[in-house]
Structure 1
Amino acid sequence: MGVNNARVLDIHYPDRNIAVLLIHNDYVAEFKQLLETKQVHFANNFDPRNGSTLKDPQYKDLTEQERTSKACEIQQQRLQRAVLHIRELVKFAVAYYFYQQKWLTKSFIDQLNNSRYGRSEDVFDMDEDIMGNFSEDTTTNVANLSSIQH
């Protein structure tokens, strides 16, 4: 189809005839255009957390609320698996985005941070002053590097 596989971070299938692709932000417009030329239909209103997506007969006796709760649980498991298998360079950015959307729990993020840093402190809650200083330091270091190279 002409899809750049390096830009596809994850694929999963939450319902019949539905494929969900997690792709890099910078590739969305190009990817959509490519799929439109191949006449691929987009299910823009699809919600994997809706109880109607559960087709397994074991869920047939659940109430609508229980089905929705179960669908949310299953979707969260899919996202956790995706994050764990995404390459290291983008894993934490994707996890943070999912956390901001409230699709992943704080405890999962803490476990992920623990595996990365050996501690579970929240690296996403950095003080703005620290980040400002970091940004200034980086700019200074780049400027210093430029003067050294010339």
Structure 2
Amino acid sequence: MAAARTFSVRSANHGYKFLYLPLRRRLPIGQLRSRLRQLSINTRRVLSIHYPDRHLVALLIYNDYEAEFYPLDLRNLDYSDWDEANRTSVAHGLFLCCILHVLDYLKGSVKRAVAKFFANKGYIDRNELPEFFSIKKA
């Protein structure tokens, strides 16, 4: 890898950038790198990880690598021959499945509050999933 860099042209966007991501709790660096790998993020491109504040992690990456963090890009080889519109559609479907799984796990008023949040963000449609929204009686 280092030998190949010797013969490559320096990019116009050369440099580094910190990506700040929210984190529920501080994890050991090795465990955090393992979780990033589970999300198909190339941890060799993450130069440094540190915790600047509570509930916040900073990843030092190359400027050129920032575009690869695009969340609608499925890195699954099963979808590599699909066009971008179909991959985006599948990514939205998988994201909706994750949301529904979360909502099934939650109970009572917390479930309704989270469902309302997701609906306000436009992630789910109130009309398609009325069981998550309380109906006000007149």
With the length of structure 1 as denominator, give the TM-score of the two structures: 0.46
Determine which structure has greater relative contact order: mean sequence separation of CA pairs < 8 Å that are 6+ residues apart, divided by chain length. Answer: 2
Q: Calculate the TM-score normalised by the size of structure 2.
A: 0.49
Q: Higher helix share goes to which structure?
A: 1
Higher strand share: 2
